[in-house]
Structure 1
């Protein structure tokens, strides 16, 4: 890898509201040895000196290799979470299947099927994580990170199918009550199912939030629904032990309602990710960081979007209209650098420098106005 600070000067999509135009994709390919001509002002030089001293105290890097390593590390954590979850849930389902064969419990059979299905949701997520590591191409210019959104949708559909199956099984048992045998073994298997699913749910949700994977969080919520189903089996077994055969289907219906609530939360999270929603607090943090950058007189349109479990940004900043191209570019670089520090999991930003408006002058974006409503 070269030490050249590689700013590919591409053209961002025109938005015609102050953030249009010739944005510079500042993908830091050189770390912090910024090979940019310094601004002529003494204050700018002193600012850069303070910045370099700060780097000595808190070393870090935004080089392309470091970003790639971070992306691979987060994907590796996701893969590790998937395989560990698959192992735990597979062992749980296997243990329950043994009890099903001995007791003939239909309720426990349903729970076993849920656990097996939850373990298999690791497959679409694993595919998504593997795809996310692939480099961008001329067709997929942003890479393959959005494969995680597709995996999240598949998981939501799986949760919906689980809820439908649980509801159907409960209604069928309600219409055709059947006794449950070997109740102690069924109760133990239910506890094993709950413990395994709850552990996996906590683990997946924690890792998913750490690496910013909505799909992994949704998968963790799915595991939690299966844990609730296990508790339904336990409560149903308790009711059967007391001679109340309708206990199992009634509790099953209640758990179906709980699964529907979890489905709502998971679907909302995945839907927001598909629609490029971000936490407004991230936007606030980004705007605060930009306003503190020397040379930035104002912040125009700011956009953040998730691509897999990484963020990208597009922003227009207002700079001195009399600044040279090199000076405006240096401000844009500093602005992107500030964003990389202020916004967690941000990997790149397109920063467009707009000249400060001067009374009597024509809006520099006026030639683009007729495209505004196209």
Structure 2
């Protein structure tokens, strides 16, 4: 099985597990939240609904990102994953806004019922399940270098935190501080908003071809400089493309070299970088004579 196929199958497997788990959790929390009169648990339930949507988006974007390059997309379709993850961020932000509004209006109304005991049980179950999903998803996401899965894992972790907030709010409300239940719903909305913002910030940076870590650039520089005939390296440009990088750089060689000799040095630089640096998709080497520097 090819590396791309293995990557897709691994992502698909964890996504299906997440989808089933989130569907059951969402149904459990929304129904119990409704019958137990818990604003916090209902908000947490809709957080799980947004988890379902995010998992579906991640599945689709990972599948589409595996589509081979074509004449209209010569570099391939790997950025589909970042685009899908950005859509996930929008869903999270919108979910947070609507849940926060409802919780705030409930607090203002003062008409707050004491939540039932089953709301506590549902919140505790959610904490355990979402933490397990986080650990499994982040492990697979890092193994296959999937930004979408890693974002989905952090979404699971934020859901675990929101369930903790719901548990505290419900518990406080049952002790007589009823305002704590809708207040916990407001906290849940804030947590969702925070995660949505952070995901959008990171994926937008990639979509705008933001520069990756400086350490990666220095690694590329050292590899290129190790090739005999290279007198200098400058203007290294590195951009993320899904799980991989595309490299552009310029090298300086002696003036008297023939075109063929300069080309051979450039090929050696390209092969050295691809063979010895992780996740390099393509390298473009521009050759300049020493006299112009």
State the TM-score, normalized to the length of structure 2: 0.89
1:312 maps to 246
1:168 maps to 101
2:144 maps to 211
Task: Spell out the pairing of 1:70-219 with structure 2 (5 A cutoff).
Answer: 70-97=3-30, 99-100=32-33, 102-176=35-109, 177-183=111-117, 185-219=118-152
Deviation at 1:97, TM superposition (A): 4.6
Query: How far apart in 2 are the matches of 1:105 and 1:302?
Result: 55
Query: How far apart in 1 are the matches of 2:181 and 2:82?
Result: 36
Deviation at 1:98, TM superposition (A): 5.2
Deviation at 1:104, TM superposition (A): 4.5
- The structure having more radius of gyration, on CA atoms, is 1
Asked if 2 retains the 8 angstrom alpha-carbon contact of 1:297 and 1:319, the reply is yes
Which of the pair is proportionally richer in helix? 2
- SS where residue 121 of structure 1 aligns? helix
1:324 maps to 258
Asked if 1 retains the 8 angstrom alpha-carbon contact of 2:274 and 2:281, the reply is yes
Asked if 1 retains the 8 angstrom alpha-carbon contact of 2:223 and 2:273, the reply is yes
Deviation at 1:315, TM superposition (A): 1.6
Deviation at 1:193, TM superposition (A): 1.5
Measured against aligned partners, the alpha-carbon deviations of 1:190-211 in whole angstroms (never above 9, x if no partner) come to: 0111222233233333433443
Unaligned segments of structure 1, at least 5 residues: 1-67, 358-362, 365-374
Measured against aligned partners, the alpha-carbon deviations of 1:97-149 in whole angstroms (never above 9, x if no partner) come to: 55346535343222222212212212222221121121212112222111112
Deviation at 1:238, TM superposition (A): 0.7
Asked if 1 retains the 8 angstrom alpha-carbon contact of 2:39 and 2:182, the reply is no
1:301 maps to 235
Query: How far apart in 1 are the matches of 2:201 and 2:105?
Result: 30
Query: How far apart in 1 are the matches of 2:277 and 2:185?
Result: 44
Asked if 2 retains the 8 angstrom alpha-carbon contact of 1:285 and 1:342, the reply is no
Asked if 1 retains the 8 angstrom alpha-carbon contact of 2:37 and 2:113, the reply is no
Query: How far apart in 1 are the matches of 2:154 and 2:92?
Result: 9
Deviation at 1:95, TM superposition (A): 3.5
